[in-house]
């Protein structure tokens, strides 16, 4: 998986400023593809995670909390914290940092806790 970004304090290079850090792509390897975030087309590279592609596009708020409606975004970028949950192609609770971008996928912010489908086991 290509995490596709680097946190830098330098002002050199091309990238996105997210919070107080500047992000930039480490390399341009991978086919150029596009997907949609809340209707906005986002450019990415095959092998990018959804989280890294969104951060590079300057999007840092991925979900809101169930209790206080506080905004949350990726923290660990390695599948541990679950702060990056989004809805992808209608499926909630997807970890953006652990999901690779696919062409034309539809990603949306997740508001509060998504309903989980539980199935009775016989
Ligand atoms: S950023 Fe921590 S699980 Fe995705």
Atom of ligand 1 nearest to the CA of 75: 1
- Here the CATH number for the domain that contains residue 76 is 3.10.20.440
Residue 116 within a domain: no
Whole-structure pTM value: 0.79
Q: How much is the pLDDT for 37? A: 98
Q: Name the domain count of the chain.
A: 1
pLDDT band at 96 (very low <50, low <70, confident <90, very high): very high
Residue 40 within a domain: yes
Please spell the DSSP secondary structure of 41-60, one letter per residue: EEEEETTBBHHHHHHHTT--
Q: Which residues line ligand 1 (CB under 6 A)?
A: 74-77, 79-84, 95, 97
Residue 68 within a domain: yes
pLDDT in tens, 50-82: 999 999 999 999 999 988 999 999 999 999 999
Across 52-80, b (16+ Cβ under 10 Å) vs e yields bbbbbbebbebbbeeeeeeebbbeebeee
């Amino acid at each position: 998986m290509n995490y596709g970004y680097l946190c830098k304090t330098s002002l050199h290079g091309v990238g996105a400023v997210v919070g107080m850090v500047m992000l930039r792509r480490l390399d341009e390897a991978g086919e150029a593809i596009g997907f949609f975030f809340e209707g906005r087309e986002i450019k990415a590279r095959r092998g990018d995670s959804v989280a890294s592609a969104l951060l590079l596009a300057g999007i840092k708020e991925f979900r809101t909390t169930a209790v206080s409606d506080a905004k949350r975004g990726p923290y660990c970028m390695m599948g541990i914290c679950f702060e990056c949950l989004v809805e992808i192609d209608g499926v909630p609770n997807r970890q953006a940092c652990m999901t690779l971008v696919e062409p034309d996928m539809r990603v949306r912010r997740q508001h509060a806790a998504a309903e989980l489908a539980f199935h009775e086991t016989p």
